[in-house]
């Protein structure tokens, strides 16, 4: 039985994809590795098929036309046969010891005829040149080593939110809630985490540093200059998330609060990129984004706009924008992202 299907979306990843694949191969016959070649122009496909030939019972190579990261995730999910599903980006990797522990838990679930919708574990910022590695963990928020629901969740701190790196979903759960990510769009990992949340009933958290999130390549999508150049896609993803749910219909209060705060972070990221671009047209896009939230979900707008993040991102005038940018720089150093 394959306990976890690992999808590795690859686009021109020949120079570094080995580390991701090799780290997951440590799971042996308990795992399935689906290498999705998203229309690469380098040797990505060749490497993927070499792994498939060498490990025919573990690795599957999937070649497709270029459709972007989200479409590659969709393809991985379509081919997944494992009980659970995990996305690992081609420049990231997983921790061997943590992988063994997670597999042991999933085997125990199977023996006891239990299952969860979402399993969570810690992730580590593997930032180039940084000796101290920032670990995002959830032991102050989530019960450990037990199945729980949203009512058991405590308050998430800023910078502690659930990302694609944190989650392992049950494969059938993702297919049942009909998750599909848009093509040719960056930053859809936010949709991957956000969209399924109201459907999640059972969760399980393990305090292990499982996912290693590499930051350091100049062309990475989380590089600030790259993010500013792609800010329209960030706005598109944020608007898509605004459109997904009417918060008044999210019955669980803790889940509703979490999702509202997640949207607040998305609004903040979009706003600060538009501010830091120092472009008059982008400042108009920032105003329009906030108006979009106000027009479509006024109650959510009010909570976000007059919360600490909303107020910080909407300080008036040039001096206000400088303060907003300074707050972002300080937060970035504390949290350790891009």
The stretch 304-329 carries a mean pLDDT of 86
Better pLDDT: 325 or 193: 193
Q: 190 with 229, same domain? A: no
Q: What is the dihedral of CA 64, 68, 73, 75, to 10 degrees?
A: -20
pLDDT digits (tens, 9 = 90+) for 137-174: 999 999 998 999 999 999 998 778 899 999 999 999 99
- Phi, psi (5° rounding) for residue 126? -90, 75
Of 105, 87, 96, 110, the residue nearest 1 (C-alpha): 110
CB of 113 closer than 8 Å to CB of 78: no
Q: What percent of the chain has pLDDT over 70?
A: 95
**Bridge partner list, 94:** 211
- Pick from 215, 238, 255: which residue ends a domain? 215
How far, in Å, are 22, 237, 266 from residue 263 at the CA level?
A: 35, 11, 5
102-146 pLDDT, tens digit per residue, is 999 999 999 999 999 999 999 999 877 777 788 999 999 999 989
How high is the mean pLDDT of the chain?
A: 93
Q: Is residue 13 over pLDDT 80?
A: yes
- Region 180-187: mean pLDDT is 95
> What confidence tens digit (pLDDT) does each residue in 214-243 have?
987 565 545 678 888 999 999 999 999 999
Minimal CA–CA distance to 146: which of 84, 208, 205, 207? 205
| pLDDT tens digits, one per residue of 243-265 | 999 999 999 999 999 999 999 99
Domain that holds residue 138: 4-215
Asked if the model's pLDDT at residue 338 lies above 50, the reply is no
Number of structural domains (the chain) is: 2
307 and 281 within one domain: yes
Which of 215, 243, 264 marks a domain boundary? 215
Write down the H helix ranges in the chain: 17-25, 44-54, 69-79, 96-111, 171-176, 189-194, 224-229, 231-244, 253-276, 280-296, 298-305, 308-313, 317-335
How would you class 79 by CB atoms within 10 Å of its CB: exposed for 0-12, middle for 13-18, buried for 19 or more?
middle
Q: Are residues 59 and 205 in the same domain?
A: yes
Q: Which range (8-12, 20-24, 78-82, 319-323) has the least confidence?
A: 319-323
Same domain, 91 and 144: yes
Q: Domain end: 151, 183, 215, which one?
A: 215
Q: Give burial (CB, 10 Å; 0-12/13-18/19+) of 167.
A: buried
User: Which two structure tokens, joined as six digits, stand for 78?
Assistant: 């379509």
């Amino acid at each position: 039985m394959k306990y976890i299907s690992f999808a590795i979306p690859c686009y021109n990843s020949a120079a570094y994809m080995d580390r991701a694949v090799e780290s997951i191969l440590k799971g042996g016959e308990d795992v399935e590795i689906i290498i999705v070649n998203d229309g690469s122009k380098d040797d990505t496909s060749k490497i993927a098929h070499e792994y498939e030939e060498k490990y025919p019972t573990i690795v599957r190579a999937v070649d497709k036309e270029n459709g972007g990261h989200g479409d590659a995730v969709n393809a991985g999910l379509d081919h997944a046969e494992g009980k659970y599903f995990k996305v690992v980006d081609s420049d990231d990797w997983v921790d061997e010891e943590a992988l063994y522990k997670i597999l042991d838990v999933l085997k125990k679930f199977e023996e006891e005829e239990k299952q969860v919708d979402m399993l969570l574990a810690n992730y580590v910022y593997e930032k180039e040149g940084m000796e101290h590695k920032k670990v995002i963990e959830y032991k102050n928020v989530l019960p450990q080593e037990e199945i729980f629901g949203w009512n058991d969740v405590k308050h998430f701190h800023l910078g502690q939110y659930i990302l694609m790196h944190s989650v392992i979903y049950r494969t059938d759960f993702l297919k049942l809630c009909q998750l599909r990510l848009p093509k040719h769009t960056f930053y859809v990992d936010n949709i991957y985490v956000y969209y399924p949340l109201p459907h999640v009933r059972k969760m399980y958290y393990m305090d292990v540093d499982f996912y290693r999130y590499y930051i350091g390549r100049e062309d990475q999508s989380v590089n600030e200059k790259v993010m500013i150049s792609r800010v329209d896609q960030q706005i598109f993803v944020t608007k898509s998330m605004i459109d997904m749910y009417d918060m008044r219909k999210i019955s669980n209060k803790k889940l509703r609060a979490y999702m509202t705060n997640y949207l607040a972070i998305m609004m903040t990221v979009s706003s600060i990129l538009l501010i830091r671009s120092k472009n008059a047209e982008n400042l108009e896009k920032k105003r329009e984004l906030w108006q979009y939230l106000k027009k479509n979900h006024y109650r959510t707008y009010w909570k976000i706009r007059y919360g600490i993040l909303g107020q910080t991102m909407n300080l008036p005038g040039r001096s206000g924008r400088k303060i907003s940018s300074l707050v972002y720089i300080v937060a970035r150093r504390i949290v350790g992202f891009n």
